[in-house]
Amino acid sequence: EAGVAQSPRYKIIEKRQSVAFWCNPISGHATLYWYQQILGQGPKLLIQFQNNGVVDDSQLPKDRFSAERLKGVDSTLKIQPAKLEDSAVYLCASSINSGLQETQYFGPGTRLLVL
Amino acid sequence: AQSVTQPDIHITVSEGASLELRCNYSYGATPYLFWYVQSPGQGLQLLLKYFSGDTLVQGIKGFEAEFKRSQSSFNLRKPSVHWSDAAEYFCAPASNTGKLIFGQGTTLQVKP
């Protein structure tokens, strides 16, 4: 079974530029998560989708970050404009469904460096 | 609000020695608890999880964890560490929507 796919793996941009990350979850998984992991910290949830609806985006900086999952499968996370503090690893995860007992499967992440 | 603390930022053990990584959580009801491992350049991999029942949970790679409600702890253990266990370990309770609340992580270094 294929795992969670993410691209690109690495991205270097200058501040004020825009960037987009792509995630393809495990087939059949209804729930998709985007986490931000800053160096030396644990991952922090940015947004959670159930199919193509948003479950939780309380920690998404909506003035610059946006995410969509239009057909309930793939998802794109965008930053516009980027700031230095956005340098982090962006992890995508998926699970069969939402809920306390669901196991989340993580992709390899996209490492972003903002100069 | 839920929170989780991993008191040890960095731990070094000798290969073959036993290991215990600490995790303390703050949660009103019975928590759903997970331990994940992250190797350099890799995504997070689930080691084990606790929902209910037996408080001693077995996971992959020879790891186990014990849920102690009285101490609000969910410590991860392994009897004999292998060099390949060097990685970062995260404890994470889950919210009622399934959101994982990760601790700061503990970096494990294994000495030959």
Does residue B67 belong to the interface with chain A, where contact is any CB pair within 8 Å?
no
The string of pLDDT tens digits covering residues A54-103 is: 999 999 999 999 999 988 899 999 999 999 999 999 999 999 988 778 89
Give CA separation, A77 vs A7, A48, B105, in Å.
11, 12, 25
φ, ψ dihedrals at A53, nearest 5° = -105, 150
Q: Which of residues 8-37 of B touch A (CB under 8 A)?
A: 32, 34, 36
Pairing of strands A110-114, A53-56: unpaired
Residues of A in contact with B99 (CB under 8 A): 33, 45, 48, 56
pLDDT at B28: 63
Tokens representing B17 are 């020695």
Tokens representing A16 are 């004020």
> pLDDT digit of tens for each residue in chain B (112 aa)?
678 999 999 999 999 999 999 999 987 666 789 999 999 877 899 999 998 888 899 999 999 999 998 899 999 999 999 999 999 999 999 887 788 999 999 999 999 9
Rounded Cα distance, B70 and B76, in Å: 17
Does residue B102 belong to the interface with chain A, where contact is any CB pair within 8 Å?
yes
Burial profile A29-65: b = 16 or more Cβ within 10 angstroms, e = fewer: bbbbbbbbbeeeebbbbbbbbbeeeebbbeebeeeeb
Residue of A nearest to B93 (CA): A100
The closest CB to that of A106, out of B32, B43, B104, belongs to B43
Rounded Cα distance, A42 and A32, in Å: 18
Does residue B86 belong to the interface with chain A, where contact is any CB pair within 8 Å?
no
Q: Read off the DSSP letter of residue B2.
A: -
Rounded Cα distance, B25 and B33, in Å: 9
Residue of B nearest to A107 (CA): B43
Rounded Cα distance, B78 and B66, in Å: 11
